[in-house]
A and B are shown apart, each in its own frame.
Chain A
Amino acid sequence: MLILVLVVVGALAFDFTNGFHDTANAVATSIATGALKPRVAVLMSAVLNFVGAFISISVAATIAKGIVNPTVLAGSGGLVLVLAALIGAILWNLITWYLTIPSSSSHALIGGIIGATIVAAGSGAVNVHKLVQSVIVPAVLSPFICGAVALLGTLAAYRMIRMLRAGEAVKGYRLGQIGSASLVALAHGTNDAQKTMGVISLALIAHGDISTTHFYVPFWVKIGCALAIALGTATGGWRIINTMGNRLTSVEAPQGFAAESSSAAVILASSYYGYPLSTTQVVSGGVTGAGLGKRLASVHWDVVGQMVTAWIFTIPSAAVLGAAAWEISDLFSSSAAGSVVIALIAAAGAAVLYKLAQRSKITPDELDRTVAPEASAARLRHLTGERMSIVK
């Protein structure tokens, strides 16, 4: 029972980190162009993530479906494995958050599961072909697809702007940004909150609390996951919002609208056709494409390079962390004792990363572009110049 409780708490903690890590996906460009005040933007995103969690009532009931042998997730050994995987994913999410780099929470979870599975059951339990087909290939393709669509959208937007007065264009596209950002936030809630619901449901099945013949997701799981992702989103994730909105490229309202519309279109199309894509990678590709659509030189390729490096390392790093967590738990003869120890180590690691992040804290007021343009420009210089030294 204790291990099950730890898995549920771990899953909700992962959902929380997923929320604040991915807030930027929906709202970064809206904040960067002054379409919304930072606090209003994250609050809107939090509400839509919460609602999104309930839009599709059916849940993807398997995590890393087809990538790892499902038998390794069964029983109390499976519960410890899932806990180790969650710990690996949470720690990698926090490390990339500290480094201000947008990276995929889903890939972190898959990496954690793969790492824990390899040390627990051997590399034969991982289907490498399926991993490449359903995770690696989409990860490589998705930023390019969204980037190309956003580039074309930006070119089209600036063509249309020639027929408009400057004020009208900015006002109109800012309104459009709010709509497209809302759609991305809703899609994020639908996709990501339900992954955690799937993790908890699997844990409940493995523990014998849910019958496999009468599968359902308990209401407390739905509401818990929806609340965790919404609370995480409401916390802000200002560090990654700054990277996505200011450091990748200088975003104007038409670019922001093109980036968010393209991202929403790619995410929803891939979701509908059952092709798994990372929201973070899609939106990052979209923002970069929108930057290219206006001026090639306005994309900060050093930041893009840091981000791509983090993407490459996400699955291996989360796998190493997940594997380490499982190995530590395996040192103890009792599964419960091992689980408690790795949970405590993870909590300590999270506290250290949080403390370190406070040294270079980014506040919502610093990101606010709805204030006077002079003050906004000064803050932008401050954030894109001085803050970049954090990760350099």
Chain B
Amino acid sequence: MIAIAAALVNWNELWKIIVTALVGGTGVVIVVGLLLVGISRGKTATKPTTRYGLYALSGLCGILVVAVAAIGIYAMTQKPSSTKPKPKAAAATLAPASATERGFGTT
């Protein structure tokens, strides 16, 4: 059973995805929560230093959220699967229509 799972599941990639998703997915929710708490508490804080500190925390969280979104967009542009076909490989497997007429596997 373990051998079958090992053959079918790319655990190396899967763990990376799980960790990244946990850090990114759950982390962003926590950071946005901190951003909101900072703004909320900052409004009611009586001491100026506390107020500015809370606003600074919110600002930092805002920057983090924007940075995570930017990393996400960068990841979209770096898809390893989105590569051009190798010309030789494509030429070996694909032929123009004139070469075959329903001739599966005959090219």
A61 vs B87: C-alpha distance in the bound complex, in angstroms?
11
| Contact present for B96 and A149 (CB under 8 Å) | no
Q: Is B84 an interface residue (CB 8 A)?
A: yes
| Contact present for B82 and A268 (CB under 8 Å) | no
Q: Which residues of A contact B48 (CB under 8 A)?
A: none
B102 to chain A, nearest CB (A): 4
Interface size class of B (residues with CB under 8 A): 35 or more
| Contact present for B21 and A205 (CB under 8 Å) | no
| Contact present for A271 and B102 (CB under 8 Å) | no
| Contact present for B90 and A160 (CB under 8 Å) | no
Q: Is A55 an interface residue (CB 8 A)?
A: yes
Q: Is A121 an interface residue (CB 8 A)?
A: yes
Q: Is A113 an interface residue (CB 8 A)?
A: no
User: B73-107 interface mask toward A, CB cutoff 8 Å, 1 = contact, 0 = none?
Assistant: 10111111111110100110111111111111111
| Contact present for A257 and B32 (CB under 8 Å) | yes
Q: Which residues of B contact A98 (CB under 8 A)?
A: none
| Contact present for A137 and B9 (CB under 8 Å) | yes
| Contact present for B21 and A77 (CB under 8 Å) | no
A389 to chain B, nearest CB (A): 35
Q: Which residues of A contact B91 (CB under 8 A)?
A: 212-213
Mark out the residues of chain A between 42 and 69 whose CB falls within 8 Å of any chain B CB in the assembled complex. Answer: 52, 55-56, 58-62, 69
| Contact present for A273 and B102 (CB under 8 Å) | no
| Contact present for B82 and A59 (CB under 8 Å) | yes
| Contact present for B13 and A268 (CB under 8 Å) | no
Give me the 4 closest cross-chain CB pairs, A-B, nearest first: A160-B33, A208-B96, A75-B100, A265-B24
B35: which of A150, A161, A172 is its contact (CB, 8 Å)?
A172
A215 vs B26: C-alpha distance in the bound complex, in angstroms?
41
A152 vs B104: C-alpha distance in the bound complex, in angstroms?
50
A125 vs B37: C-alpha distance in the bound complex, in angstroms?
58
| Contact present for B72 and A183 (CB under 8 Å) | yes
Q: Is B53 an interface residue (CB 8 A)?
A: no
A186: which of B28, B76, B98, B102 is its contact (CB, 8 Å)?
B76
Can you identify 27 A-B contacts, CB atoms within 8 angstroms?
A56-B76, A56-B82, A58-B84, A71-B104, A73-B93, A74-B100, A75-B107, A80-B102, A121-B104, A152-B22, A153-B29, A168-B36, A172-B39, A179-B69, A183-B69, A183-B73, A202-B94, A206-B95, A208-B96, A215-B90, A254-B29, A258-B26, A265-B21, A266-B25, A269-B17, A269-B24, A274-B79
A74: which of B37, B69, B76, B93 is its contact (CB, 8 Å)?
B93
Interface size class of A (residues with CB under 8 A): 35 or more
Q: Which residues of A contact B34 (CB under 8 A)?
A: 160
Q: Is B14 an interface residue (CB 8 A)?
A: yes
Name the residue in A149, A186, A254, A258 with the highest tally of chain B Cβ atoms < 10 Å from its Cβ.
Answer: A149
| Contact present for B40 and A164 (CB under 8 Å) | yes
Q: Is B10 an interface residue (CB 8 A)?
A: yes
B16: which of A121, A132, A264, A269 is its contact (CB, 8 Å)?
A269
B20 to chain A, nearest CB (A): 4
A153 vs B84: C-alpha distance in the bound complex, in angstroms?
37
Q: Which residues of B contact A270 (CB under 8 A)?
A: 17
A15 vs B90: C-alpha distance in the bound complex, in angstroms?
24
Q: Is B30 an interface residue (CB 8 A)?
A: yes
Q: Which residues of B contact A133 (CB under 8 A)?
A: 7-10
Q: Which residues of B contact A180 (CB under 8 A)?
A: 28
B66 to chain A, nearest CB (A): 9
A215 vs B73: C-alpha distance in the bound complex, in angstroms?
26
Name the residue in B21, B34, B79 with the highest tally of chain A Cβ atoms < 10 Å from its Cβ.
Answer: B21
Q: Is A146 an interface residue (CB 8 A)?
A: yes
User: A76-91 interface mask toward B, CB cutoff 8 Å, 1 = contact, 0 = none?
Assistant: 1111110000000000
| Contact present for A266 and B17 (CB under 8 Å) | yes
| Contact present for B17 and A156 (CB under 8 Å) | no
Q: Which residues of B contact A272 (CB under 8 A)?
A: 20, 75, 78-80
Q: Is B56 an interface residue (CB 8 A)?
A: no
Q: Is B18 an interface residue (CB 8 A)?
A: yes
Q: Which residues of B contact A70 (CB under 8 A)?
A: 93-94
| Contact present for B82 and A208 (CB under 8 Å) | no
| Contact present for B83 and A58 (CB under 8 Å) | yes
Q: Is B64 an interface residue (CB 8 A)?
A: no
Q: Which residues of B contact A257 (CB under 8 A)?
A: 29, 32
